[in-house]
């Protein structure tokens, strides 16, 4: 299913950083901070990694990843030094980007964590995914943001709630938060073993597993929505982009579909609220 948010006709001459319409990035329709979910289009990588691979540890040539990152940042109007990432370990730890760390996004070592948060104006936070669920959180009142990588382990550990707690620790009200959930493997394609399905049923309720052809299909997004609601985020504040990464080989990498030989997407959110006070975002 192609979504209308993909505009193949590149339009990068808008002056509003919130309106980002190009084939390299998808955006939520109604999210208050500058953000994006990368597609696999518009890069220079080849073969199974074609073309916009943004992962450094998937066997791609470093110079190709660098060029892809340069293109992706240019298309998103991001300063690559302001783009902060972590070494993702499928845990539930968070990393805070403080004033001291601003502008050092490219300097190793990257801390081991699966979510980042910041209140530093202009700092951008990114997570890497290729089926796992990217979750972006913004507080337009307190001007804080978080980015979360949530695979099945992180979802079971309710890392999305840890991110909400971290923002609340800085003064954010959970009921004022807005969330965008990006393209990820969806219930249509995410077949899991009976043991894992049972663990999810116990934690999140029977509705997060759908049996089809006698095999359990896991609905990670539904589990995450439950976690967010329990953490105090209103249901209506959560926007889910419709795409399944496994269903759309032309647009997305999928670790499952591609047998592990595939690229990585970035999902980013910047602590930048260009749309505040006008339009549908207020």
What is the binding site for Zn ion (CB under 5 A)? 186, 188-189, 244, 246-247
Return the structure tokens found at 70: 């340069």
Q: How many CA atoms lie within 13 A of 82 on its CB side?
A: 18
Return the structure tokens found at 123: 């700092």
Least distance to Zn ion from the beta carbon of 91, Å?
26
- Beta strand 215-218 pairing with 94-97: unpaired
Query: Is the peptide bond between 131 and the residue preceding it cis, with omega within 30 degrees of 0?
Result: no
Return the structure tokens found at 47: 């073969």
Least distance to Zn ion from the beta carbon of 59, Å?
25
Taking a C-beta distance cutoff of 8 angstroms, is the pair 237, 177 a contact?
A: yes
CA–CA separation, 53 and 63 (whole Å): 11
Q: Which is nearer to Zn ion, 1 or 4 (CB)?
A: 1
Q: Which is nearer to Zn ion, 39 or 45 (CB)?
A: 39
Q: Which is nearer to Zn ion, 51 or 246 (CB)?
A: 246
CA–CA separation, 42 and 32 (whole Å): 26
Q: Which is nearer to Zn ion, 174 or 263 (CB)?
A: 263
User: Phi and psi at residue 181, in whole multiples of 5°?
Assistant: -105, 120
Q: Which is nearer to Zn ion, 227 or 246 (CB)?
A: 246
Least distance to Zn ion from the beta carbon of 264, Å?
19
Q: Cite the DSSP H helix spans in 38-137.
A: 62-76
Judged by DSSP in three states, 198 sits in helix
Cα dist from 158 to 24, 126, 224, whole Å: 29, 19, 7
Least distance to Zn ion from the beta carbon of 247, Å?
4
Cα dist from 68 to 36, 39, 45, 210, 216, whole Å: 15, 11, 8, 37, 37
- Beta strand 215-218 pairing with 178-181: unpaired
Least distance to Zn ion from the beta carbon of 215, Å?
14
Q: Which is nearer to Zn ion, 123 or 240 (CB)?
A: 240
Least distance to Zn ion from the beta carbon of 220, Å?
12
Q: Which is nearer to Zn ion, 117 or 186 (CB)?
A: 186
Least distance to Zn ion from the beta carbon of 254, Å?
9
Angle, vertex CA 173, rays to CA 113 and CA 141, nearest 5: 95
Least distance to Zn ion from the beta carbon of 212, Å?
12
Q: Which is nearer to Zn ion, 143 or 186 (CB)?
A: 186
């Amino acid at each position: 299913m192609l979504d209308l948010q993909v505009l193949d006709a590149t339009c990068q001459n808008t002056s509003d950083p919130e309106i980002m319409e190009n084939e390299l990035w998808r955006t939520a329709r109604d999210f208050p901070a500058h953000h994006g979910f990368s597609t696999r289009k518009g890069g220079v990588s080849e073969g199974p990694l074609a073309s916009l691979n943004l992962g450094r540890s998937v066997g791609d040539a470093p110079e190709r990843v660098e060029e892809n990152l340069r293109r992706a940042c240019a298309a998103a109007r991001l300063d690559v030094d302001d783009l902060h990432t972590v070494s993702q370990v499928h845990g539930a730890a968070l990393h805070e980007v403080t004033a001291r760390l601003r502008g050092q996004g490219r300097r190793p070592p990257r801390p081991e964590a699966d979510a980042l948060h910041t209140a530093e104006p202009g700092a951008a936070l990114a997570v890497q995914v290729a089926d796992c669920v990217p979750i972006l959180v913004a507080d337009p009142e307190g001007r804080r943001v978080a980015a979360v990588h949530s695979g099945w382990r992180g979802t079971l550990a309710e890392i999305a709630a840890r991110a909400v707690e971290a923002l609340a620790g800085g003064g954010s009200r959970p009921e004022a938060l807005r969330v965008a959930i990006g393209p990820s493997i969806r219930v249509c394609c995410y077949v899991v073993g009976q043991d894992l399905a049972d663990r999810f049923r116990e934690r999140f309720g029977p509705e997060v597993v759908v049996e089809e052809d006698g095999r359990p299909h896991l609905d990670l997004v539904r589990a995450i929505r439950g976690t967010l609601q329990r953490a105090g985020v209103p249901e209506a504040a959560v926007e889910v982009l419709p795409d399944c990464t496994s269903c759309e080989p032309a647009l997305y990498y999928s670790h499952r579909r591609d047998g592990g030989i595939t690229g990585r997407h970035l999902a980013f959110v910047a602590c930048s609220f260009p749309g505040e006070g006008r339009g549908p975002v207020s």
